[in-house]
Amino acid sequence: MKKIIVSLFMLSQISWGQQKERKLVWEENFEGTQLNTVVWNYELGDGCPNVCGWGNNEREIYTQTNHLVKDGYLTIEARKEGNKYTSTRITTAGKKEFQYGRIEARAKLPVGQGIWPAFWMLGANIGKVGWPLCGEIDILEYVGKNPHQVYTTLHTTANHGDHASSKVTEFPTIEEGFHTYAVEWDATKIEFFVDNQSVYVFAPKERTPEVWPFDQQFFILVNMAVGGNFGGPEVDDTIFPQRYVIDYIRVYQ
C-alpha cells in the first residue's frame, strides 16, 4: 500500500518539478533498520550546560533510543519514564546542508497537551555567529495544546529571535494520517506549504542581514519536544507514549 501511495505522490511531484524546473537532489526514505549516521547526527541530553532546556525551557531529555526505523518510516517516540520525559532529536549539521530549493517532509503528527513536534532548519554558521543571527526556518511546528493548527515561522535578529514572520493556519484534520509540509526558498522569498497549499509567503523589500540571514547554507532538524515555552508549560502525562512518524524528507533544487 505504501508503494502505491508513494508512486502516486511521485507522479504529482514530477509534474510539480517540471513546472518549477527543479530536480530532486537529495532524499531520505528511512530504509533499513538504523538511522543513517553518514547523514544524521543525534543531539543528546537536555541542552545543558550551554542552552539548558534547549533555550525554550523544554522538559525532555534527548536519547539515541527513542526512535525506530522500520518499513520505510522514522518513528520518534516521546515517553514518560519515571520523573522524566525522553525523546529524539536529529540533525544533518555538517553532513547535508542546503541553500535554496524546495525542502519537504511527509509526516504524521502526535497529539496531546505538551507535545511539540517540529521539522525545521538552522543556518550552518550557528557555531560562529550564534542564534538568531544564523536564522531559523520552521517548516512545521505543532503544539498539542492548540489542536488543528500548523505553525510556520522564521526567526531573525530583526525581532531579537522572536517571530520575525509567522503564520498559524487552521487544518481541522491535520491530526489524521500523513500530511506534507514544505518550504520553497530562493534569494528573494520563502513560501510555506501544507499539502501543497500555500499558507504563507515572506518576501521583504529590504533584505538586510538582520531581516534576511537566508543567503547561506542551512541544515535540517527533526525532533519532538515536550513542554517548554511554546509546547507547555503544562504536560498531560496520560498521553504517553506519543509517536511522530516521518515517511520521507526530500530536497529539490
Length of the chain: 253
The reported pLDDT for the residue numbered 160 is: 65
Stated pTM of the model: 0.91
The reported pLDDT for the residue numbered 16 is: 44
216 contacts: CB under 8 Å, gap ≥ 6? 99, 123, 124, 125, 135
The reported pLDDT for the residue numbered 11 is: 46
As a whole number of angstroms, the distance between CA 211 and CA 209 comes to: 5
The reported pLDDT for the residue numbered 67 is: 99
The reported pLDDT for the residue numbered 190 is: 97
136 is known as an active-site residue = yes
Contact 92, 85 (CB under 8 A): no
43 is known as an active-site residue = no
| Chunked mean pLDDT (size 10), the chain, 253 residues | 48 46 97 98 97 96 99 99 98 99 99 98 98 97 98 90 81 98 98 98 93 98 98 97 99 99
Q: What is the 3-state secondary structure (H, E, C) of the chain?
A: CHHHHHHHHHHHHHHHHHHHCCCEEEEECCCCCCCCCCCCEECCECCCCCCHHHHCCECEEECCCCEEEECCEEEEEEEEECCEEEECEEECCCCCEECCEEEEEEEECCCCCCEEEEEEEEECCHHHHCCCCCCEEEEEECCCCCCCEEEEEEECHHHCCCEEEEEEEECCCCCCCEEEEEEEECCCCEEEEECCEEEEEECCCCCCCCCCCCCCCEEEEEEEEEEHHHHCCCCCHHHCCEEEEEEEEEEEC
The reported pLDDT for the residue numbered 159 is: 75
Q: Which among 28, 77, 136, 184 is annotated as catalytic?
A: 136
The reported pLDDT for the residue numbered 117 is: 99
The reported pLDDT for the residue numbered 5 is: 47
The reported pLDDT for the residue numbered 163 is: 62
The reported pLDDT for the residue numbered 4 is: 47
C-alpha cell read off for 51: 542552552
Q: Which among 31, 141, 176, 234 is annotated as catalytic?
A: 141
Query: In order of start, what are the domains of the chain with their CATH numbers?
Result: 24-252 (2.60.120.200)
